[in-house]
């Protein structure tokens, strides 16, 4: 399943990441981790102090990956609106949900300060990054000055995370796409018409 070039510790981290995403903390047993990683008994305790230590390494890696993916879009070219649009429309496995967002519904993770920290920090980082882009748009007179950057950022993040929940509940990504289209329609009303000249909003069929 994993490349032979991967170290045992990396295989353990990757298998734990996947299992946390699929089953949550309680459902991620040491036995399941070792089986998926193709590692022998005792490997976990050779490289990590135990399941909590391994879970923390896995959550941190998922958080780093999510940040890098988000920054690749939010830090890309285009107007502030286009960068937010690109973030909302980026390719996602909607029915699988967010590997970080789903952990907020895991009581064991939320109850543990160490495990919760990278989850909270990552979501705060995305919200702060989005708020900065909205503020940038206001400074460039592309967005209405009356917009509250923090509120818009929170709305964007809530649309994405809430969209995952609704999509999983319905068994279809359609409701996620509808939420994104609705938010973009509202946000586009706050864009200076002069800024919109020369570009056409992307549909949710974009990658």
Q: Cα(54)–Cα(23) distance, rounded to whole angstroms?
A: 15
Which pLDDT does position 41 carry in this prediction? 82
> Which pLDDT score is estimated for 162?
97
pLDDT of 207 reads 33
Separation CA 2–CA 166 (nearest Å):
32
* pLDDT for the residue numbered 2: 61
Report how far residue 72's alpha carbon sits from residue 77's, in angstroms, rounded to the nearest whole number: 10
Alpha-carbon distance of 30 to 22, in angstroms, equals: 15
Tell me, what's the pLDDT at 204?
40
pLDDT at 200: 45
Output b/e per residue, 83-110; b: 16+ Cβ within 10 A: bbbbbbbeebebeebbbbbbbeebeebe
pLDDT averaged over consecutive 10-residue blocks of the chain (207 residues)? 77 96 93 93 88 96 97 96 97 94 94 97 98 96 93 98 97 97 92 55 38
Least Cα distance to 191 among 141, 128, 149 occurs for 141
Question: Using an 8 Å Cβ cutoff, are 175 and 163 in contact?
Answer: yes
119/14 Cα distance (integer angstroms): 17
Residues 57 and 20: their CA atoms lie apart, in Å, by 12
Looking at residue 1, what is its pLDDT? Answer: 60
Q: Domain 59-196 has what CATH class?
A: mainly alpha
Q: Is the dihedral of CA 173, 178, 180, 181 positive or negative?
A: positive
Residue 63: half-sphere exposure toward Cβ, Cα within 13 Å: 20
Residue 124 sits at the vertex; the CA angle it makes with 119 and 127, to the nearest 5 degrees, is 130
Q: State the DSSP code for 191.
A: B
Domain limits, the chain: 59-196
Q: Determine the 3-state secondary structure of 145 from DSSP.
A: coil
């Amino acid at each position: 399943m994993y490349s032979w070039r991967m170290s045992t510790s990396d295989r353990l981290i990757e298998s734990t990441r996947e299992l946390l995403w699929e089953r949550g903390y309680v459902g991620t047993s040491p036995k399941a981790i070792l089986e998926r990683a193709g590692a022998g008994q005792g490997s976990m305790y050779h490289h990590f102090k135990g399941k909590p230590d391994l879970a923390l390494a896995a959550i941190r890696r998922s958080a780093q990956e999510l940040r890098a993916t988000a920054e690749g879009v939010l830090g890309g070219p285009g107007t502030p609106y286009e960068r937010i649009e690109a973030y909302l429309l980026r390719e996602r496995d909607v029915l699988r949900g967010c590997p970080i967002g789903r952990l907020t519904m895991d009581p064991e993770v939320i109850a543990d300060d160490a495990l919760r920290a990278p989850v909270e920090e990552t979501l705060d980082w995305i919200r702060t990054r989005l708020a900065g882009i909205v503020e940038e748009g206001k400074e460039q007179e592309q967005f209405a000055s009356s917009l509250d950057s923090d509120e818009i950022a929170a709305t964007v993040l809530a649309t994405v995370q809430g969209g995952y929940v609704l999509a999983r509940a319905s068994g279809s990504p359609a409701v996620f796409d509808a939420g994104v289209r609705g938010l973009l329609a509202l946000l586009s009303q706050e864009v200076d018409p002069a800024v919109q000249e020369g570009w056409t909003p992307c549909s949710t069929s974009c990658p």
